[in-house]
Structure 1
Amino acid sequence: MLETLKLKKGKGNRVFNGHLWIYRSELEGAHPAIKPTTVIVENHNGRFLGIGDYSPSSQIAVRLLTRKKEVIGRKFFRERIKTALELRKKLFPGEDSYRLIHSEGDLLPGLIVDKYGDYLSVQILTGAMEARKELIFDVLEEILKPEGIVEKNDVATRKLEGLEQFVRVARGRVPESITISENDLRFEVDLLKGEKSGFYFDQKLNRIAISRYSDGCRVLDVFCYSGAFALNALKYNASYAVGIDSSEKAIELAKKNSELNSFANRCEFIKANAFNYLRSISRKQQKFDLIILDPPPFAKSRNVLNRALRGYREINLQALKALNPGGVLVTCSCSHHVSPQIFLKTIMEASKDAGKRMVLLERRGQSPDHPVLLGVPETEYLKCFILKCF
């Protein structure tokens, strides 16, 4: 029988409006220090609100899985995973690499699954999901029949759940590297040692969007990782591309990908600090026609928001100084705590400092295999603005 937790009076509005999270401070009474498990949630009057995963360690005490009275077992997860898979098949017909499960966005909070052809990379973020992971693996094998499954559990958020960080092959076999296809380009992916799960699927459609702005351009891809933006620009007839990343592994990977796609003679990848590199080319008056900024999250918590905004302002300022008149800036933020409005205001401030007039051409976000659940603003995190300089 499931434990029942109650919300304090007046604390149910967010849940009624669609959010899946219940904070520890919103729970009534002295809730027991039970281990991670599935619980029933009611409001203060005893009205059923849903069934969710309880965490004894995190400030997010409960993540709702369902608002129905149903059993959370094999059938439940089979239906949710099949629903997610059918959506991806409609979004990307004929493709085999994408984000399959996007946690709250697919109504499976605490679970992320990326599909790389015949291989799966799984990230488990909560104690309750950790406790049932073998069931999850069984269902994934039943539906998808992968050659191998990687547990990519090296994210810092697991510490908040009292979980250890590790990476391992959970099922089957996984080679040192695999090759995937995106937009008729080939990319090498390291499922065990690569950043994130190995590839950034959330920028998929934004990489395609630069086709309109790449023809004949000299391109700078800052925080390039595997070189995906730069190589897409070259596919769309950019004259030359330069990629910058502070990671030696990333630079080596980008070089391999340029060779895989026969672009090695039209690009170069340089290990450098992005801020320092942009300042140096500004001093040297080196200019580009298309600049892409895709940095890691500068604001991982609200406490560092002001410092993060200074970073975004500086990186955009230096990029604008290196942009030719009439050039295009593609600038991104994957920090949830930086809202689209705040990010755009920061870009405006940078353009004023650079003495540039900018026109906003496109306001974009994450690829639809990273669905945004209405009522859960945390699921909408990626901002991608495309602007033209005058």
Structure 2
Amino acid sequence: MRSERPYSKISISSKAAKSLKNGHPWVYGNEILSSEGELVDGSIVDCFEGSSWQGAGFYNSGSKIAVRIISRNSNDVFDGRFWYRRILYAVKYRMTVMQGDDFKCCRIIHGEADQMPGFTCDRYGDIAVTQIACLGLEMNKDVIYKALRDVFDEIGEPLKGIYERNDLALRTKEGLELFKGWYGGADYPCITEITENGIKYSVDVENGQKTGFFLDQKYNRTAAARIAKDKNVLDCFTHTGSFGLNCAANGARHVTSVDISSQAVEMAKANAVRNNLEDRIDYVCEDVFELLTNMAAKKDHSYDYIILDPPAFTKSRDTVDSAGRGYKEINLKAMKLLPRGGYLATCSCSHFMTDELFRKMLSSAARDAAVSLRQIEARTQAPDHPILWNVPETDYLKFYIFQVV
């Protein structure tokens, strides 16, 4: 390690050092033992276990995560060239795993998985939509955004604008204000059109979920659609209609798509018209729990394929048990409503509902429904949302397709 470094130093516990050595990029406030030099929120600090340097990261005393590691290379200089290299590396990875049109609409930066903790960047054609949940990155965003533009200029696909969707609640935990708008004072329309799996969508980067669209299910939609031909499909929690649209385009006899949000239903209807699929899909604005309950009361077994794509029922360990009950309720009802030989696609997008817990829940629901699950596929998020095995927070999406027998 270089002998002269301009950063303040913190001494961390052996537990924190072990975590860093194993590749996890966070140091919690209660793992800091002492410090040397002035600790300024948003600045870079060096982390040591004794005399052993463990990495450098952004410090924030107001956050439970006191340090987010951005480098384990003591020769790194954190200037524009550093962020350019970091972004170029991430973009080249996407160009490899998301080829052709898939690269036009994908996640470019996936936080910790791209060594940029607390930073998300999604691409919708010539628009980049960002979310920052790290004070240090917020303070360096001008340099980072320039690097982002430079990388896309270099590959010959320049960005028209960068929209900041900094309305996520995590920012408040970092002491950051909530806001959204075009970076640099640009004024472009917030509605854009994308094409995914051959389906056209209108995306609202200002008001849509996440950064405007759920990009992580891209290939799961393809998998779900592969078995939809000639089936009556019930698409639950449809949001912008994506699973139902993919199934209809792949030959489903008919699709009923359901969402509790009237705004989402209207956007999904417009997407059906945009793809000339409005005659094959009808839309219902209703709570899915109530809908499934009413169908069970009526002994309505008219659907032979049910898709469950609910929002995250839990965002903390404290609510995992109650979330498990919610997941079980909808899956149990779906299993009971399906005829023998029917099909079920089901998922969870919560990191805290681990794959082990999700599988246990599905097994319990199947026992209570007196059915067996014949697994067709077990999947996770698309590779533009990479999973680092030593950072479990990056592994969050579980997706299964079964035949119910």
TM bucket by the smaller chain?
A: over 0.9
Q: Name the amino acid aligned to 1:2.
A: Y
Q: Secondary structure at the match of 2:248?
A: helix
Partners of 1:217 and 1:240 within 8 A in 2:
yes
Q: CA deviation at 1:276?
A: 0.5
Q: CA deviation at 1:174?
A: 2.6
1:14 counterpart residue number: 19
**CA distance in 1 between partners of 2:198 and 2:363 (Å):** 35
Q: Does residue 1:236 correspond to 2:244, yes or no? A: no
Q: Does residue 1:262 correspond to 2:276, yes or no? A: yes
**CA distance in 1 between partners of 2:268 and 2:58 (Å):** 40
**CA distance in 2 between partners of 1:9 and 1:221 (Å):** 49
1:86 counterpart residue number: 92
Q: Does residue 1:161 correspond to 2:169, yes or no? A: no
- Deviation track 1:88-128 (CA, whole Å, cap 9, x = no partner) reads 11112222110000001111111100000010100001111
**CA distance in 1 between partners of 2:90 and 2:13 (Å):** 34
User: Superposed, which structure 2 residues align to 1:171-182 within 5 Å?
Assistant: 171=184, 172-182=186-196
Q: CA deviation at 1:211?
A: 3.0
Q: CA deviation at 1:5?
A: 1.1
Q: Secondary structure at the match of 2:368?
A: helix
Q: Secondary structure at the match of 2:120?
A: strand
Mark the runs of 5 or more structure 2 residues left unpaired by the alignment.
1-5, 153-157
1:323 counterpart residue number: 338
Normalised by the length of structure 1, the TM-score is 0.97
1:206 counterpart residue number: 220
User: Superposed, which structure 2 residues align to 1:356-375 within 5 Å?
Assistant: 356-375=371-390
**CA distance in 2 between partners of 1:174 and 1:323 (Å):** 46
Partners of 1:213 and 1:290 within 8 A in 2:
no
Moved more, 62-71 or 316-325: 316-325
Q: Does residue 1:352 correspond to 2:367, yes or no? A: yes
1:39 counterpart residue number: 45
Q: Does residue 1:278 correspond to 2:292, yes or no? A: yes
Q: CA deviation at 1:30?
A: 6.2
**CA distance in 1 between partners of 2:189 and 2:284 (Å):** 27
- Deviation track 1:169-219 (CA, whole Å, cap 9, x = no partner) reads 114343131110011110110011111101101001100111331110111
Partners of 1:51 and 1:65 within 8 A in 2:
yes
Q: Does residue 1:116 correspond to 2:116, yes or no? A: no
Alignment counterpart, residue 208 of structure 2, candidates 165, 172, 194? 194
Alignment counterpart, residue 297 of structure 1, candidates 312, 316, 322? 312
Q: CA deviation at 1:33?
A: 5.9
**CA distance in 1 between partners of 2:79 and 2:253 (Å):** 54
- Deviation track 1:9-37 (CA, whole Å, cap 9, x = no partner) reads 44421111111111111111268663221
- Deviation track 1:261-312 (CA, whole Å, cap 9, x = no partner) reads 1000010111111100111112222231111111111110001111111111
1:378 counterpart residue number: 393
Mark the runs of 5 or more structure 1 residues left unpaired by the alignment.
none
User: Superposed, which structure 2 residues align to 1:334-349 within 5 Å?
Assistant: 334-349=349-364
Q: Secondary structure at the match of 1:50?
A: strand
Partners of 1:147 and 1:173 within 8 A in 2:
no
Q: CA deviation at 1:40?
A: 1.0
Alignment counterpart, residue 170 of structure 1, candidates 183, 190, 205? 183
Alignment counterpart, residue 112 of structure 2, candidates 76, 94, 104? 104
Moved more, 72-81 or 113-122: 72-81
Q: Secondary structure at the match of 2:341?
A: strand
- Deviation track 1:293-339 (CA, whole Å, cap 9, x = no partner) reads 11111110001111111111111111112212111111110111111
Q: Name the amino acid aligned to 1:276.
A: E
Partners of 2:225 and 2:243 within 8 A in 1:
no
Q: Secondary structure at the match of 1:167?
A: strand
Equivalenced residue count is 389
Q: CA deviation at 1:77?
A: 0.8
Partners of 2:9 and 2:35 within 8 A in 1:
no
**CA distance in 1 between partners of 2:206 and 2:251 (Å):** 33
Moved more, 352-361 or 310-319: 352-361
Q: CA deviation at 1:249?
A: 1.1
2:151 counterpart residue number: 143
Q: Secondary structure at the match of 2:390?
A: coil
Q: How has the CA–CA distance of structure 1 residues 235 and 11 changed in structure 2, closer, same or farther, with 3 Å as cutoff?
A: same
**CA distance in 2 between partners of 1:74 and 1:198 (Å):** 28
Q: Name the amino acid aligned to 2:90.
A: A
**CA distance in 2 between partners of 1:59 and 1:46 (Å):** 25
**CA distance in 1 between partners of 2:188 and 2:112 (Å):** 27
1:184 counterpart residue number: 198
**CA distance in 2 between partners of 1:240 and 1:220 (Å):** 9
- Deviation track 1:202-238 (CA, whole Å, cap 9, x = no partner) reads 0011001113311101111111101000011111111
**CA distance in 1 between partners of 2:59 and 2:343 (Å):** 47
Partners of 1:327 and 1:388 within 8 A in 2:
yes
Aligned CA-pair RMSD: 1.3
**CA distance in 2 between partners of 1:259 and 1:119 (Å):** 24
Alignment counterpart, residue 76 of structure 1, candidates 72, 82, 88? 82
**CA distance in 2 between partners of 1:129 and 1:158 (Å):** 12
Q: Name the amino acid aligned to 2:341.
A: G
